[in-house]
Every structure is written in structure tokens, then in C-alpha cells.
């Protein structure tokens, strides 16, 4: 199979960033092998990791340019999960990057069909008062995509029952960072459950926290 020169490949740098993100999610231990997938929005649709190609072996020209209707350019096929990427981009104008992983603790909770409640204030990092678990559906199906889009309503991350998790963001860096945070929260929640059901912050407190998160982590010059 012959690929065109990367020097003439559209969105060459973005393709490299997608590969880097996919490799990093494995290196960070929040994904394994060829599972999971990564995408980024483009003017024409989105770029997504290919199906069946190890991230360490992937080349920029193998990152698949895909339209929102699922049509794609070239001979390399996109991830089997392209559908929920397309539907999330269609539903969420604020999302420009998506990371899907099979991280251990998030997937453990997903296999139990558990939402992650506001046992810790950092749940607000995912955009709401909890991290929802979408109902199970077969991978790659419209049903799974519909469940994922619904679970992400007002949220930037969700679990997928008996499957894994999705994190979204304005950039690949932010989507990956959120995926790491969700896995950390899932681990803490799982550990707390070994002792008992932890207390949960109420809606009043989470409303305060969510408002504070609007400027969380930003360098704001003090007013004198």
C-alpha cells in the first residue's frame, strides 16, 4: 500500500499530535495495546486513529480523515468507534478532541454500571455533579453512540458500561489530561468503596465548586 508524503499530508502536525496522544495514554497506563482511540476535529470532519494498527507503529498518513457521515479518505480504515466521535462532534461545538480509553479503574466501575458521584470535589473537572455511566451497547453501534452522547450532555467525560471511558476537550492535551483525572477519581472511588459507600457532596456545594472551576487553574492577576 502506498501513502502520500507526509510533507503533503493535510493537517500533518495534528496527525502527529494524535499519534503522540495515543502513545501517551498507553505510556501513562490508562490504556492498553490497540484498544481505545483518539480523534481531533478538522474543518472537513475529524482525524481519528486507524483500526488494528498499534500506536507505536502508526504513521501520520495512517491517521484517517473522516467526515461526520462516516465516509473516509484513503485505504486505511478508521477506528471501529468512529461513530461516537462523529456524533459527539456533531452534538458539541465546544469539543475539538476526544480520547477513549479502557483504563482499569474507570472500566471496573463501568462494568458495575456505576456513575461516579461527587465523593470528591474534583468530580467537577468533568463538568458536572457526577460522571455518568452510559448503558451498555455493542461497540461501534449507533446505540452506543446515542448512549455516549446522552451521558456527555453537560459533561466532558463519561463511562461506558462494560467498556471504558470517554473524555473530551478543546484540545488533545486537555482531553488526555481529563482522561487521566477521571481514572484517578475512579481509582479513589473504588478504593473508598472497599471500606463503604463514601459520603457525597450535596448539590449546593457542587454548584459552588462548578462555579469556581470556571476559572480553576487560570493565572489571574490580583487586583490592587
| Residues tagged active-site | 81
Tally of CB atoms within 10 A around 69 = 9
User: Beta strand 164-169 with 64-66: parallel, antiparallel or unpaired?
Assistant: unpaired
At 118, list the grid cell: 461527587
Q: Which residue, among 48, 197, 185, has the nearest Cα to 104 in the 3D structure?
A: 185
**DSSP secondary structure, 116-133, as one string:** B-SSSGGGGGGTSSSB-E
Q: Which residue, among 104, 103, 98, 62, has the nearest Cα to 83 in the 3D structure?
A: 98
Amino acid at each position: 500500500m502506498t501513502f502520500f508524503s507526509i510533507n503533503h499530508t493535510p493537517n500533518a502536525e495534528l496527525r502527529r499530535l494524535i499519534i503522540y496522544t495515543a502513545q501517551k495514554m498507553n505510556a501513562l497506563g490508562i490504556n492498553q495495546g490497540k484498544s481505545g482511540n483518539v480523534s481531533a476535529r478538522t474543518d472537513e470532519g475529524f482525524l481519528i486513529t486507524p483500526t488494528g494498527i498499534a500506536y507505536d507503529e502508526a504513521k501520520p498518513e495512517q491517521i484517517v480523515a473522516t467526515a461526520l457521515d462516516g465516509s473516509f479518505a484513503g485505504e486505511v480504515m478508521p477506528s471501529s468507534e468512529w461513530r461516537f466521535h462523529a456524533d459527539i462532534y456533531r452534538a458539541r461545538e465546544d469539543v475539538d478532541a476526544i480520547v477513549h480509553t479502557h483504563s482499569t479503574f474507570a472500566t471496573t466501575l463501568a462494568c458495575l454500571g456505576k456513575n461516579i458521584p461527587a465523593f470528591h470535589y474534583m468530580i467537577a473537572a468533568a463538568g458536572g455533579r457526577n460522571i455518568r455511566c452510559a448503558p451498555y451497547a455493542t461497540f461501534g453501534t449507533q446505540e452506543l453512540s446515542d448512549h455516549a452522547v446522552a451521558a456527555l450532555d453537560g459533561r466532558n467525560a463519561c463511562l461506558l458500561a462494560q467498556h471504558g471511558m470517554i473524555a473530551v476537550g478543546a484540545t488533545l492535551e486537555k482531553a488526555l489530561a481529563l482522561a487521566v483525572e477521571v481514572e484517578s477519581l475512579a481509582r479513589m472511588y473504588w478504593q473508598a468503596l472497599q471500606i463503604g459507600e463514601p459520603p457525597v457532596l450535596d448539590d449546593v456545594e457542587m454548584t459552588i465548586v462548578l462555579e469556581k472551576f470556571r476559572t480553576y487553574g487560570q493565572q489571574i492577576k490580583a487586583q490592587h
